[in-house]
Amino acid sequence: MKTRSFIQLALATACALSFSAASAQALTPIKFQLDWRFEGPSALFLAPAAKGYFKDAKLDVTIDAGNGSGGAVTRVASGTYDMGFADIAALMEFHANNPDAPNKPVAVMMVYNNTPASVMALKKSGIKSTADLNGKKLGAPVFDAGRRSFPIFAKANNVSGVQWTSMDPPLRETMLARGDVDAITGFTFTSLLNLEARGVKADEVTIIPYATNGVKLYGNAIIASPKLIKENPAAVKAFLLAFTKGAKEAMANPKAAIEYVKARDGIINTELETRRFQLAIDTAINSPSAREEGFGKVVPGRLSLMASQVSDAFATKSRVNPDAVWSASFLPTSTELNVLPAIKK
């Protein structure tokens, strides 16, 4: 009897292991590259991962921190990552500067309907509006999205004579606080809170958002490699649906969602990152144009205008083809995309 029991136990264990292995094999692995560090906005992706929504969609998703949209685009283009999160302007630039590249990523869902870029200055500098930027010294890293697209902003607002100072990202807000530059460009939800961390109060800062000053650029989108799109389009569609579900819940309760960010980077300031996430929602995701156009979507005419503006501002080798950088084929239904939080009255 002992021998029979042992054999039965061994068979049961083997079956369980076989089932577990088969289940693991059934999950499609997807490596996902964020645009930046594990900060507030990354909760949009970390929440559905932690809640198991990607696994429920038969996906084994790994999410890595990034160091800029340009890096996210090139890593997806190289095949190192299957999908990523990047400023669509950086994606357009890659397409136009690498017309013969065999693997040009494609944007498959718009997340930041408006670019979060803005010009920020200390009120004591006397800068109150776009007109006050003429001839001023501005600072930003050379790859900053706001700096790269500043020619579009300058043209829309008749700004001229700007002198640029370059620095590494950690020094941008420090140099503004010290008065080394008159103003900086950056994502509002990044630079404003970084200034506060350096002792500058929010009410001491002048914020000039690109989105409300004549620059209707789209911001960050989810991008996918052409290899994944061709070989497993169902996985792209499943990813977007799972992401949408998790993003809706994260935006409905930012404070709870930040706990998933803290699980990946234990040294973050929970309160600060909750505010950062809420700022991102309010300024870039749940904007009036996002509510008008629909979360995840783009308007062809607006995308075409942006493609032309990026071609000129970035002096690309070839003109950006908007049809090549965007595909709406994998988006969830309009009902499933109804995820934006209600506007508080």
DSSP secondary structure, 18-68, as one string: HHHHHHHHHSEEEEEE-SSSS-GGGHHHHHHHHTTHHHHTTEEEEEE--S-
- For the chain, the average pLDDT equals 93
What is the DSSP track for 291-302?
A: HHH-TB---HHH
pLDDT band for position 343 (cuts 50, 70, 90): confident
What is the rounded CA–CA span in Å between residue 252 and residue 297?
Answer: 20
Considering only CA atoms, which of 218, 131, 148 is closest in space to residue 185?
148
pLDDT band for position 19 (cuts 50, 70, 90): very low
A 10 A CB-CB count for 157 gives 19
Residue 47: phi and psi, rounded to 5, are: -65, -50
Write the DSSP symbol of residue 80.
Answer: S
Mean pLDDT computed over 126-149: 96
pLDDT band for position 344 (cuts 50, 70, 90): confident
* Strand partners of residue 107: 223, 326
Checking if the pLDDT of 21 tops 50, the result is: no
At the fourth CATH level, the homologous superfamily of domain 27-114+218-325 is: Periplasmic binding protein-like II (3.40.190.10)
pLDDT band for position 3 (cuts 50, 70, 90): low
* Numbered ranges of CATH 3.40.190.10 in the chain: 27-114+218-325, 117-209
Q: Report pTM.
A: 0.90
* Strand partners of residue 289: none
Q: How many CA atoms lie within 13 Å of 185's alpha carbon, on the beta-carbon side?
A: 27
Strand arrangement, sheet containing 220-224 = 59-64, 28-33, 83-87, 220-224, 106-110
Residue 208: phi and psi, rounded to 5, are: -120, 90
Residue whose tokens read 């136009």: 96
- The CATH architecture annotation of domain 117-209 reads 3-Layer(aba) Sandwich (3.40)
Burial environment of residue 182 by CB neighbours within 10 A (0 to 12, 13 to 18, 19 or more): buried
